[in-house]
Amino acid sequence: MAIFGWVDKLFGDTNLAQRVILTGSGLPLALVFARNTVPYTAFMRGFLIDSGIPLTGWVQTAASAVLGTALFAAIQYAEIYPLIGAKKRKARGFAHSLSLFAYVVDILACWSFFPPIQGNILIFMFTPSFSRIDWLNLLTGIITVWGGSWWLQLRQKFADENERGGSPSRTVTVQAREV
């Protein structure tokens, strides 16, 4: 079972149904995350070009992909930091401020690269039309920004249920058998 130790660490104390739910929601989330690394990779490519570092071709592409993904990961970590760290009261205040800043940066990066409105936003504000909304970009931005924290909260809820002795549906089943 040591081979699957990383699975146990990722899912914690969850049953098979909960693991299926977490995996089923986690895989699309990972695909959306992979799509949203593009703005950060493009930002890092521009940064490397503007900084004058003599990188060209595949080296520049690889460096910007690695640095862009690392920047994306740092932003995502800052967003979920209040959920996974920050035990002390003072640290929680800082963690929530950091998280809010990361949410704003992430949504601006996502929606500036994948705009949810086709065309000029001012025209849309004065004459809104559902046909001008790019629903995929809108959904991608929402999932990217809040998907990671939602997934962690779902995982934590399953872990809490298992600590208390099971989910409410299991309790009902046990009570029905006792009668």
pTM: 0.68
Q: Which of 21-25, 115-119, 129-133 has the lowest mean pLDDT?
A: 21-25
Going by C-alpha positions, the residue among 140, 108, 111 that lies closest to residue 29 is: 140
Over residues 108-128, the mean pLDDT reads 81
* Residue 168 scores a pLDDT above 90: no
3-state secondary structure at position 133: strand
Question: What pLDDT shows up at residue 105?
Answer: 92
- Give the residue, 47 or 89, on which the prediction is more confident: 47
- Mean pLDDT computed over every residue of the chain: 78
pLDDT in tens, 21-45: 777 777 778 887 888 888 888 888 8
Domain ranges across the chain: 2-174
pLDDT of residue 75: 92
Give the tokens for residue 175. Answer: 């009570």
Which of 93, 45, 92, 90 is closest to 65 using CA atoms? 45
Span 90-115, average pLDDT:
86
For residue 164 the two structure tokens come to: 């208390």
